[in-house]
Structure 1
Amino acid sequence: MDSHLLRTLVTVARLGSFSAAALELGYTQSAVSQQIAALEGELGAPLLHRRPVGPTEAGERMIEHARLLLERMDAARADVRRLSGPERPELLLATSPLGLDATVARALARVREAEPRLRIRVRVLPRRAVAVEVAAGRCAIGVTDGYTAPGGPLALGDLGPVRQAGLGEQPCAVLCPAGHPLRRRTAVDLDRLADASWLDASGIAAPLADLRALTGGAFPAAAGYEGQDATALLTLCATGHGLAVLPHTLAAGTGAPAGTVALPVRTPRLVHRREALFTPALDGPARALLDALPRGG
């Protein structure tokens, strides 16, 4: 029985949503559906009701077993690694798509200079999944991002022992395609744009649900983007598929498509914030990286 299938089952049941589980695990929604179907086929019983999503009686029993099996497997991996020890020191960094910037890359370089034998691995995950990986002990340190009022911190929910350290904030902007009626404005108020056409891309842009909560506006989604590639999102915005609230440096940077305009967000007060996530019990390489990261915010 594949442990990945068991982990997917437990995650879908905990979140009550195939799409939310896909975001947390870093899969597509169709991949999550296929994994659940494969597990149900192997066991010969339905494990989840689809509408609404929830465990069947057989699913409840399987989830109990799955949790125990996953805990034992994680413990077994940790024991073996502790006894055998890696051939060379390793640092695994979990990061959201907009978490890893030049300052983080330079910090990684400084850590490698101090320990040339260090093997660095970077795992790109959805924002929330970064916090989950660090909380579960599968990554020693993570860098995530999000949109919040100035001064943060990011609202990441109950993360147990995980601590948050600000790595900096920057203003937000609405990416406006060439020819859009807004393009000549010098700044925008989001509550006045609540009825515009928006691109739902919560993996990179400010989630529309957050904009609705901030302003009380509708913010209808003209199109959706479920990927983690910022360049693809910029292209969709530039070709008129909808507006998006982004970090100003991304919306106005050299990578933005020609002709687009980054309109600073005037109200509500909103910034793009990046944070390091870590637990108190850091090993040497992870502690060195945390110390090398420039703090701010």
Structure 2
Amino acid sequence: MDPHLLRTYVTVARLSSFSEAARDLGYTQSAVSQHIAALEQDLGTPLLTRRPVAPTAAGERLLEHAGPLLLRLDAARADVVRMAAAPAHGLTLAAAPTALGPRVLAALPTAGVTLKVPPRDEIPAAVATGTADLGLVDGLAAPSDPLRLSDVAPLTTRGAGEEPVCVLLPDAHPLARRPGLRLGDLADARWLDAPDAGLPLAQLRAAGGGHGFRPSLRYEGTDVRALTALAAAGHGLTLLPRSAATGVPGAVGVPVTAPRLVHRTELVYAGSLQGAARELAVALTSRDQGDFRF
């Protein structure tokens, strides 16, 4: 399949409009119609109904394949461009908010950095497609175990640090003075669902046996300070790396003692690193893994 036709089809299906897709892509509406007709002729089946504009059953199946295919093509282009381009002086870092601990912040160059905080599931794709030079992903893991990342392109990952995890509780919570907590004992508690600011509840369920940890409030943002304020105000519990759960006004971070879990941060990059990206990568990973070449 011609990737230009496939990209046009995905855009029409996303916008449910030939004219809107034409504006989005910078084509004429006639060209968009020709692209869709050519793709349907190539595949031998209708992919869209016209009134209203919506994918057919075959079109829905094609959409399942189209996203990963187009992402892989973008990643291949970005990889080649990286190899051919002159070394950049600046650095673009895409990071989960809870990956931006004190050690990471101290290692950032003093100038020339663009910091992006996208949804954590989008970080590998940002690195693969070249919109970020480096990525920092994080999550729950057993000590020294790697994270499980989506396979979007040939990417390299390196451990960039581990620290204990804590449940953040309001000062007046009955468990706030405990020296430690078992995660399984909190499965029926009220939790904050903040997939992009804190550690996702799906990871807690996986660590706690696959059940419980129902949300009482959902926060759709990346501001860790807003998340900790919600926890301190009693809207629900949240699990955070120790550095983020320490010193929160009105709240106490109580360590998780069972199961044995850590907050793990990993560096993600593509190809070989140069300049500021290489310097930051060395600073973040050499302590845990010894000297190695990027």
Match of 1:89 in 2: 89
Identity of aligned residues (%): 38
Match of 1:31 in 2: none
One-letter amino acid matched to 1:181: P
Equivalent residue for 2:260, pick from 248, 263, 269: 269
Equivalent residue for 1:187, pick from 177, 180, 183: 180
Mapped contact 2:127–2:134 kept (Cα < 8 A): yes
Match of 1:282 in 2: 273
Match of 2:25 in 1: none
Residues 64 and 145 of structure 1, relative CA distance in 2, 3 Å threshold:
closer
**Using the alignment, how far apart are the partners of 1:72 and 1:186 within structure 2?**
49
Equivalent residue for 2:225, pick from 222, 226, 231: 231
SS at match of 2:277: helix
Structure having the higher Rg:
2
What's the CA shift for 1:287? 1.8
Structure 1 residues not aligned, in runs of 5+: 14-35, 49-54, 113-118
**Using the alignment, how far apart are the partners of 1:185 and 1:237 within structure 2?**
17
Mapped contact 1:47–1:57 kept (Cα < 8 A): no
What's the CA shift for 1:120? 2.5
**Using the alignment, how far apart are the partners of 1:69 and 1:99 within structure 2?**
24
Residues 124 and 41 of structure 1, relative CA distance in 2, 3 Å threshold:
same
**Using the alignment, how far apart are the partners of 2:186 and 2:273 within structure 1?**
45
SS at match of 2:137: strand
Mapped contact 2:136–2:268 kept (Cα < 8 A): yes
Match of 2:47 in 1: none
Structure 2 residues not aligned, in runs of 5+: 22-49, 290-294
What's the CA shift for 1:71? 4.8
What's the CA shift for 1:187? 1.0
How many residues end up aligned between the 2 structures? 251
What's the CA shift for 1:82? 5.9
TM-score of the superposed pair, with normalisation by structure 1? 0.70
**Using the alignment, how far apart are the partners of 1:248 and 1:191 within structure 2?**
19
1:222 counterpart = 2:216? yes
Match of 2:31 in 1: none
SS at match of 2:231: helix
Aligned residues: CA RMSD: 3.7
One-letter amino acid matched to 1:263: V
**Using the alignment, how far apart are the partners of 1:197 and 1:63 within structure 2?**
35
TM-score of the superposed pair, with normalisation by structure 2? 0.71
Match of 1:106 in 2: 106
Match of 1:42 in 2: 20
CA distances 1:139-160 after superposition (whole Å, capped 9, x unpaired):
2211122111111211113244
